[in-house]
Amino acid sequence: MLDNAYHGTTASCSGVSPSMSTGSGRPSPDFVYQSQDVLIATQPDPYRGKFRYAAHSDIGTKYAQDLEFTLAQARGNIAAYIHESIQGVAGQVIFPEGYLSKAYEKVRAAGGLCIADEVQVGFGRTGDYFWAFEHDNVIPDIVTMGKPIGNGFPLGCVVTTPEIAAAFDDAQYFNTFGGNPVSCSVGLAVLDVLEKENLQQNAKEMGEYMLEQLRQLQKQYPVIGDVRGRGLFIGVELVQSPQTLQPGTQEATYVWERLRDLRILVGKGGKHKNVLRIKPPIVINKSDIDLFIEQFEKILKELQEGTWKEMTLIQRIRARSIEAKKPRFQSKVLSNLAAVAVVFGLVRLLTK
């Protein structure tokens, strides 16, 4: 697995999720126990990692060679290499060109399987492809998916090859809720909406537009160290200095909370908790993005002018109260479609 990865908090998943301990005073007990037979490879971060675009060439190969060194430390056979196709909790980290394909070669040469975690980035969110791993021209042995597959309805899925699935022939496995028809009908309804409303193309176009607007802000505000993303999976890394890359952790926390005051929700992640994680509903439109950019710039000005350090908790609470009294901004969001998906799913089920 990769450093700062996140794959979930169930027992086994916690063992391949180093980010459970990121930013805490001590490692998560679950991670320590479950990761005893797990090797952690270097995070292939091209902005502030071991190898950077600014200082090295062909860093994808360099990070893959680093992974090969990690594989050589194994006490026995390699079972599998699991990765997010784009690291999310780690700060929307997009792997350098060529890394993933070379990593797959080295893992398979060592006898391991390759597992792509598409829970956050799958189903067209990255725009050009339905699955984010396709950007790197690789074919995983196992793909895990969830969250958008049910659009708010609890649903998850694992896809693999017939050869790997056959391993269950000699094992007893039982799942009370596995394959229940209501969940499957909801999943089919979500796929119908994605296709009929051309939402993958919307993610591509709106993602390009948002990235363009954010990069314009980056030129004006040095606190924005990096803007990165694919489709509508975007990261904005804040720094105290573009030269030293000193993480802007306090600045990110302030922006994160001020956006909430202004009724806009984004995530916050990265090893230093200084990356704004922007992953809006893929039905978002230009007017929604313009509103976000307008409010984001308002907060960036507060940072630049230094007024953010003077704003007391009472002032922030008062500002939030004022914003709460304003008319709610309405947008067509996927969360509303979740209820529609459930209804469609039930209708589909009942009419068969």
- In whole angstroms, give the CA distance from residue 351 to residue 181: 13
Q: 327 is written with which tokens? A: 């008319």
- In whole angstroms, give the CA distance from residue 237 to residue 23: 16
Among residues 342, 248, 350, 341, which one has the least CA distance to residue 299? 248
Say what the pLDDT of residue 333 is.
47
Among residues 25, 27, 44, which one has the least CA distance to residue 36? 27
Q: Phi first, then psi: give them for residue 241, nearest 5 degrees.
A: -150, 125
- What amino acid occupies position 189? A
Which DSSP string corresponds to 213-267? Answer: HHHHHHHH-TTEEEEEEETTEEEEEEBS-TTT--B-HHHHHHHHHHHHHTT---E
- What amino acid occupies position 10? T
Q: 152 is written with which tokens? A: 């708010």
Say what the pLDDT of residue 174 is.
78
Say what the pLDDT of residue 136 is.
95
Please give the model's pTM, rounded to 2 decimal places.
0.86
* Residue given tokens 């908090």 in the structure block: 9
- In whole angstroms, give the CA distance from residue 98 to residue 60: 5
Indicate the CATH number for domain 199-334: 3.90.1150.10
Put residue 4 in one of left, alpha, beta given phi > 0 → left and psi -120 to 50 → alpha.
left
Q: 78 is written with which tokens? A: 């390699």
Among residues 132, 98, 101, 97, which one has the least CA distance to residue 114? 101
Residue 210 near residue 216, CB atoms below 8 Å:
no
Q: How many CB atoms lie within 10 A of CB 342?
A: 20
Nearest-Å Rg of the Cα atoms of the chain is 21
Alpha helices per DSSP H over 72-124: 99-109
- In whole angstroms, give the CA distance from residue 50 to residue 43: 8
Say what the pLDDT of residue 211 is.
98
- In whole angstroms, give the CA distance from residue 144 to residue 139: 13
Residue 47 near residue 94, CB atoms below 8 Å:
no
The end-to-end CA distance of the chain, in Å, is 43
CA distances from 344 to 183, 283, 339 (A): 11, 19, 9
- In whole angstroms, give the CA distance from residue 101 to residue 80: 15
CATH fold label, 11-196: Aspartate Aminotransferase; domain 2 (3.40.640)
Q: 214 is written with which tokens? A: 């954010």
Q: 221 is written with which tokens? A: 């505000």
Say what the pLDDT of residue 113 is.
97
Which DSSP string corresponds to 113-171? Answer: EEEEE-TTTTTTTTSS-SSGGGGGT---SEEEEEGGGTTTS--EEEEE-HHHHGGGGGS
Mean pLDDT by 10-residue block, N- to C-terminus, for the chain (352 residues)?
Answer: 88 83 63 83 94 89 95 91 96 96 97 97 97 97 95 93 90 81 94 97 98 98 97 98 95 95 94 96 97 97 84 60 54 49 56 60
User: What length does the chain have?
Assistant: 352
- In whole angstroms, give the CA distance from residue 261 to residue 303: 15
Return the domain boundaries, the chain: 11-196, 199-334
